[in-house]
Chain A
């Protein structure tokens, strides 16, 4: 490890690795809030649905990460359970290690999961608890893997850092432990690594790949089970989907297991085509390649004929994005393929990497606003005569309160925009949104105000 540098910020496979390490920028007070690393780790690992996830902290630490991923899930096994040591002031003063050990035992005995993940929080780091020691003690006592995840709230200024630290925990303790399922040898096995919108998107990607004969061995951060993740090292290729938060995991798997990885996405025809070509290249199998290309051609033709009307309707409509994270660039190619004009992209908490991805995907004529702010995006929308604002998360209320047509790409969606089916869904959703009567109605004043 280079002297004076934090090993976490050294990632040889990142293009900005050569720059001076700033680490996560110290967040200024009052600024837009960013995610919590514990929440990020939970978002990454809760999809391992048969394992138990125990947050070692006060009550709010679980609150920040539990409900949303749990809400998406199917209601079987341990999926959707939240465990917390619920530290009180006494534990904070006297230490919570004993309580943690008992809590692990309680889960092991009552719920019998295949593994328990234990999450450190700000409080337990401050009280200098030895999480690793407690976990290994518990491991011997109850004879199941107990995996510490070190991503306390102040370890980084975003959920991304949490995802990354979750990746470290998986690499160190889970991946490589499993063995091949008997009777299921796969020729074309890959892992999907990265951030996407949980079950629906992951299922869509798996279905798309299944049609071409490629099997997804494990989705890391997608719908998953402990044994599937522990087998991930048996894949032939890794695909990093959308977020680079877990690129370190992919790189470490390349170093340790010799599994090549590439970055790709399933949003929009061009991106899918690129992804499939990459897969064909990595497998280097002429038969598979022919099959893959045939598949793309067929799907693209189908899309062309099905979307002709929608494209005509959408052509030249101008959209403004006010998004954070991967939503900022994930759909850009797709939107442009639909004939939409991207007038501006505003963002408040995107990484340098996200910004360069935004730039890569734009055709020109787009205003890019970093550290944008609500006022600025509204002004830009009006100046550039936008027809629709695409938002993510809580940004939704900015256009809503100004009665501007908007579509939230991230929240409440439960619909996947991945794959060819996703292109159709997003195109349909945009068209339906534009045609909502409420945009006209909400602009009219009451009879007594006229």
Chain B
């Protein structure tokens, strides 16, 4: 892989598609039950974060704010943050609150950690509620890093609260750390696959029961589902941790260090080879055989790959996605035998060293350049749809945000079944593009 064309060559970004870290942090918290992110920035920031997540998932989002006003910049915002924490506790009684800092709080030097400490020591909050703080400025990282860092912060807080006492391990319990490139549908599928081996799964964060769309809790200001906090403690008694996506590794290692639970990282669970490895891992872990359903799904996938080989043959695909998503996709695309896969990532990540193809850090202007040099399909978030149209390249929405479409959160691309689905979606997009150019 070649990492060329660093962002600072250009003095600006034209049609950027990087999603800010704060969105990742807010998203991760939606996967913990009865939690409430409090964004600490100018009020407009909060509005944008909430709207974007809401529009992608077509779900309401739990989110509050500490609005920075010009007076806060001079006198400090400690009082505002105290008020916000108090109000949130009184009004919603959440189980988990996270105070999320932005570039603005970073710049004026707000100390979020001390704000939380002060709040707790002044008798605010009760012992039940977990209150934490995290700086997620938008000048670095992306959705992926924000999501991973928030998960880490929650894991750390749970470890801290558990007091570090050694606990008896349960052989049939596993932790699942799904990265943000997995949809709620993906997470649900992984939970089912792992459970099919007779294992108990603790997914954290668990978007599959929160942002999948359900009517169980009515209208509420807190997150609508996800991993309950009292259940979260049990993660320290699992026999192993499965992290999906390199970005989630650090949280897994934290659990490993605290409780001696081994962590296994799978870059992605899309594709025959990746799934074979995963199912074999589960087989050995649980000492249980793979169920008939999944054996059938593997057969079906193989057959679909034979059906599709002529469709994928010689194709050139380009993608603008976050690093983990790109790596997972590149491994699978290599398997289906396309001619080339080129990609743009919004930020650097160590996982890109394993990328199979050509990958650069950049924006959608770079992506359009790639498209004009010849591409059969453009994969990426809705930010790229117009650019793909301008270049006359077929477009398949993936990643975040995907707007103006139904069912995005439920799309599955993991496991043998999910891979078959993805093969169909991408294959059909390629076929449709062929028909269009043939006309």
Taking Cβ atoms with an 8 Å cutoff, the residues of A that contact B are 26-31, 33-39, 54, 58-60, 62-65, 67, 70-71, 75, 80-89, 91-92, 99-100, 102-103, 105-107, 122-123, 126-127, 152-154, 157, 159, 374-375, 378, 393-394, 397-398, 401-403, 411-412, 442
Contact = CB atoms under 8 A, between A and B. Distances in A.
B83 interface: yes
Contact of A85 (B11, B38, B50, B55): B11
Contacts of B51: 393-394
A245 B398 CA distance: 37
A123 B139 CA distance: 11
Contact of A29 (B83, B107, B215): B83
Contacts of A33: 43-44, 46-47, 50, 63, 65, 67
Interface stretch (B12-20, B194-202, B275-283, B417-425): B12-20
B159 to A, nearest CB: 29
B103 A31 contact: no
B433 to A, nearest CB: 18
B400 to A, nearest CB: 11
A153 B12 CA distance: 20
A106 B13 CA distance: 10
A254 B66 CA distance: 40
B139 A401 contact: no
A60 B87 CA distance: 26
Contacts of B80: 29
Interface in B47-63: 47-48, 50-52, 54-55, 59-60, 63
10 contacts: A27-B43, A29-B66, A37-B44, A39-B48, A60-B103, A62-B16, A89-B137, A123-B104, A154-B42, A397-B60
Interface string B96-120: 0000001110011000000000000
Interface in B394-410: 401, 403-404
Interface string B10-40: 1111111011101000000000000000100
Contacts of A36: 42-45, 47-48
Interface residues of B, number: 68
B139 A58 contact: yes
- Going nearest first, the 7 A-B pairs with the smallest beta carbon separation are A36-B44, A64-B48, A29-B84, A153-B42, A102-B11, A397-B60, A103-B12
B407 to A, nearest CB: 15
A10 B137 CA distance: 36
Contacts of A58: 20, 103, 137-139
B403 A67 contact: yes
A34 B43 contact: yes
B382 interface: yes
Contacts of A54: 12
B48 A154 contact: no
B218 interface: yes
Nearest to B47: A33
Contacts of A411: 55
Given A33-B50, A59-B20, A401-B219, 12 more contacts: A29-B87, A30-B87, A36-B42, A58-B20, A60-B20, A60-B22, A64-B45, A122-B104, A123-B103, A126-B107, A154-B70, A374-B221
